[in-house]
Amino acid sequence: MIQRKQSLFLFIAALLNACLLVVPLYRWYEVVVNVDVMHELRVNDHYPSLIIAMVIILLPLVALFMFRNRKRQLALSAVSIVSTIGFITLMLSRVTQLSNMTPTPVRGTYWIGAILPIISILLLILAIMGIRKDDKLVKSMDRLR
């Protein structure tokens, strides 16, 4: 199960997505009575983001245990990529809403949590390539029989 490269890629992608629950996505500073106050945008603060984060954590883990059914593993990995792209879109829309809501200009930076889904997508793409390679190998072995 964990002996194959794509299984490692799926597991690491799930771990990176789980880190989203701990690491902030965006940090900004707001001036309140001439004092800079730091705020953080986290996944746990927004219910739809939390649901999508749970989905993008669970999908690679479920795909990891579907090693006997490569077509389903491939489909779950593709759905995981799509849901991760949806999470990134939701995160970017939250940041733009944040900058539009505050009356004073906001100085903010994306934090490490904004990079983790992108790395996860790359790992899922590598996993899909490995799954396809395994599928080709099994089909070529079936032809030899």
| CATH code at position 88 | 1.20.140
The pTM of this model reads 0.87
Q: Is 100 inside a domain boundary?
A: yes
Residue 145 domain-assigned (yes or no): no
Give the 3-state secondary structure of residue 115. Answer: coil
How many domains, the chain? Answer: 1
Name the residue range of residue 93's domain. 5-139
Q: Does 144 reside within a domain? A: no
Residue 58 covered by a domain: yes
The pLDDT tens digits of the residues spanning 67-121 come to: 888 899 999 999 999 999 999 999 999 888 877 776 666 678 888 989 999 999 9
If pLDDT is split at 50, 70 and 90, which confidence band does 8 have?
very high
Quote the pLDDT of residue 24. Answer: 92
Whole-angstrom CA distances from 44 to 18, 35, 38, 51, 63 are 12, 26, 17, 9, 25
